[in-house]
Homo-oligomer: A and B are copies of this chain.
Amino acid sequence: MKFYDCTVAPSPRRVRIFLAEKGITVPTIQVDLRKNEQFTDAFRTINPDCTVPVLELDDGTRIADVMGICVYFERSQPEPPLMGGGAKDSAVVTQWQGRAERDGFFAVAEAFRNSTPAFKTRALPGQDDYVQIPALVERGRERVQRFFNVMDSRLANSEFVAGSRYTIADITTLVAVDFAGWIKLAIPEDCPNLRRWHEAVSARPSAKA
């Protein structure tokens, strides 16, 4: 098994934290996105879509998707459960994970990729070129600020994002909040619940992954 990673990138960090919480280590190969190593011919044979993370299984199957990789490890090593327990719990975790991904992570990415010179023609992840759209910078920032407020309200009544247990919804939210630092947005002072939560999840050893 091999894990294609890039230590400075937020998407693979979601998987690294997941693995750290499970106590799983996987032989890892670094793909330096800052040097465009994802566009080399060698990496295109691993993932034609030119993104990390990628998990390569021993039979050669490659999973080039954060959630796909997490599902793989959740099924192969269920403890500790990070994607919910029974039907209801799993549904709640899935809902909040999705929300953190769409309204948090993707919103930061929208503002970041549309404003950073290095992404001039690569405003979306993947192998295809898309030019930057300046209006998305402001929209992305606005979405992130609303996301902070939504999560603050949620965490007023809940220890973790999806309830009383740490789950993948916390991982996605944590990575989104830290990624927001890249567009110079931090949790506002008037979001005390989100700040309390952020301090707690950042103190877990997995947050260093």
Contact = CB atoms under 8 A, between A and B. Distances in A.
Q: Among A69, A86, A95, A136, find the residue whose CB has the most chain B CB atoms closer than 10 A.
A: A95
Interface stretch (A30-38, A56-64, A177-185): A56-64
A72 B57 contact: no
A95 B68 CA distance: 5
Contacts of A61: 88, 92
A135 B131 CA distance: 10
- How many copies of the shown chain assemble into the complex? 2
A59 to B, nearest CB: 8
A63 B91 contact: yes
Contact of A72 (B67, B71, B91, B146): B91
Interface in A64-89: 64-65, 67-69, 71-73, 75-76, 84, 86-88
A135 B133 CA distance: 7
A75 to B, nearest CB: 4
Contact of A98 (B68, B75, B84): B68
A90 interface: yes
A38 B92 CA distance: 21
A195 interface: no
Given A87-B75, A133-B135, A95 B64 contact: yes
Interface of A: 55, 57, 59, 61, 63-65, 67-69, 71-73, 75-76, 84, 86-88, 90-92, 94-95, 98-99, 103, 124, 126, 128, 130, 133, 135-136, 139, 142-143, 146
